[in-house]
Amino acid sequence: MSEAQSSPQAPAAAAPALEVEQLTVTYGGIRAVKGISLRVEPGQIVALIGANGAGKTSTLKGIVGLLPSARGRVRVFGRDVLGMPTHRIVAQGVTLVPEGRAIFQGLSVRENLELGSILKRERAGIEQRMQRVLTLFPRLGERLSQAGGTLSGGEQQMLAIGRALMGDPRLLLLDEPSLGLAPKLVRQIFDGIIEIAKGGLTILLVEQNTRLALETAHQAHVLVTGELALSGSSQSLREDPRVKAAYLGEELHV
């Protein structure tokens, strides 16, 4: 029997990059994520927006297996991953760039990037991916031997995204890449994110900056206290009076 026939979970050709069904996350009996369902098609940028404490980070951590209390269903390119240990989910091509970046402060920019490839056995692709990251974020190229901890906040965010790309993921989960950054650096990072998606990588983008998220993503979901309150194309959400009033800082005129 061939490999494909023997595998009952072989992904269909056009499987969504990510399917989340009825995901719940609880912390000591308190439900932070209350049964949300969403889907990300390959090559799309989908934004998950919402206020502090809405459950955005919990959703991302639930998807990558960092929260044992997560229940429901998570499929990545057609494969069920909920319940798998995180390293096996990463092996399916999923990478989370966490809130607060978590780069190695004492290691150089180059070493941080190389560590992103540590799970990849082939050496050949590494230099190629390094070049791609440095083209995407030229500031990193100018600072290859500088310690990660001495980079500015925005540069550290570039490094965190660059390190994730070094692992050659198929699905990238970004948690608040704009947090605490000056507008100019935010623009550079988001231009990088758009460029990455054009290269075919699928992105689930968590953002509190609603305007920026809706400018960047194809589809978006609004999370309110653990539940999806609104979902749709970014354009439809930009024009939605509820989104304008609550998240875009515009007065509601209806």
Ligand X SMILES: Nc1ncnc2c1ncn2[C@@H]1O[C@H](COP(=O)(O)OP(=O)(O)OP(=O)(O)O)[C@@H](O)[C@H]1O
Question: Which residue ranges make up the site for ligand X (CB under 6 A)?
Answer: 27, 32, 50, 52-58, 99, 208
Minimum distance from residue 61 beta carbon to ligand X (Å):
8
Could you say which of ligand X, Mg ion, none residue 58 binds, taking C-beta under 5 to 8 angstroms by partner kind? ligand X
Minimum distance from residue 49 beta carbon to ligand X (Å):
9
User: Residues interacting with Mg ion, by CB under 5 A?
Assistant: 56-57, 99
* SS3 of the chain: CCHHHHCCCCCCCCCCCEEEEEEEEEECCEEEEEEEEEEECCCCEEEEECCCCCCHHHHHHHHCCCCCCCEEEEEECCEECCCCCHHHHHHCCEEEECCCCCCCCCCEHHHHHHHCCCCCCCCHHHHHHHHHHHHHCHHHHCCCCCEHHHCCHHHHHHHHHHHHHHCCCCEEEEECCCCCCCHHHHHHHHHHHHHHHHCCCEEEEEECCHHHHHHHCCEEEEEECCEEEEEEEHHHHHCCHHHHHHHCCCCCCC
- Rank residues 2 and 52 by Cβ distance to ligand X and give the closer one: 52
- Rank residues 138 and 180 by Cβ distance to ligand X and give the closer one: 180
Minimum distance from residue 99 beta carbon to ligand X (Å):
6
- Rank residues 57 and 210 by Cβ distance to Mg ion and give the closer one: 57
- Rank residues 51 and 194 by Cβ distance to ligand X and give the closer one: 51
Minimum distance from residue 222 beta carbon to Mg ion (Å):
15
